[in-house]
Amino acid sequence: MALLPILTAPDPRLKKVSAPVKAVDATVRTLMDDMLETMYQAPGIGLAAPQVGVLKRVIVLDLAREGEAPQPLKFANPEIVWVSDDDVTYNEGCLSVPEHYADVARPAACRVRYLDENNQQREIAAEGLLATCLQHEIDHLDGILFIDHLTALKRNIILRKLLKAKKTAAEAAM
């Protein structure tokens, strides 16, 4: 197991479209486990491979509450095959957009087809926070961040603050 560094915006790697995995093999399984460890440590409820600089279509989630048994979910090549007509709004955050939160409306329910850690094709029906989080993670695989769902004005205010924070951190390290 290994902790992986999490990229933060603005970073060109977060804007790229990730490639499907050919099959879920030992390398992909190790990536999934390292991503889960990184996500728990952050802490977060989901993580997409591009957030750790790996441009592969792999995501992990765990929506178990503190004190509950962990419920790690691992997905390769996730595809949204159905979304509900009705939307729901959540106040979203992102480990790659630290310290910023905003309301995002997305379909309230969805179905996702994917390969599990044993390379078996499966489908999951999701609603509530799971539906939102799956859509947030799958967006990452297409280079889309939650701030891309905001107005350009709100997005640019956040991006400018993140860039400034990066510059300040880089200066402090010199």
Residues that bind Ni ion (CB under 5 A): 94
Identify residues 26-45 at the interface with ligand GNR (CB under 6 A).
44-45
Residue 16 or 118 with smaller CB distance to ligand GNR: 16
Q: Does residue 49 touch ligand GNR according to CB under 6 A?
A: no
Cβ–Cβ under 8 Å, residues 147 and 159: yes
Q: Which residue is nearest to Ni ion (CB)?
A: 94
Six-digit token string for 159: 């991006």
Q: Does residue 136 touch ligand GNR according to CB under 6 A?
A: yes
Q: Does residue 57 touch ligand GNR according to CB under 6 A?
A: no
In residues, how long is the chain?
174
Residue 77 or 96 with smaller CB distance to ligand GNR: 96
Q: Does residue 62 touch ligand GNR according to CB under 6 A?
A: no
Alpha helices in the chain (DSSP H): 26-41, 128-141, 152-172
Active site residue 137: yes
Identify residues 88-127 at the interface with ligand GNR (CB under 6 A).
90, 92-96
Q: Which sign does the torsion angle of CA 16, 21, 24, 30 carry?
A: negative
Residue 43: name the closest of 12, 64, 13 by CA.
Answer: 64
| Distance separating alpha carbons of residues 136 and 126, to the nearest angstrom | 13
Cβ–Cβ under 8 Å, residues 55 and 143: no
Residues 37, 68, 137, 171: which is the catalytic one? 137
Residues touching ligand GNR: how many (CB under 6 A)? Answer: 17
Options 114, 137, 158, 162; binder of ligand GNR; rule CB under 6 A? 137
Residue 72: name the closest of 1, 6, 166, 151 by CA.
Answer: 1
| Footprint on this chain of ligand GNR (rule: CB under 6 A) | 44-48, 51, 90, 92-96, 132-133, 136-137, 140
Enzyme catalytic residues: 137
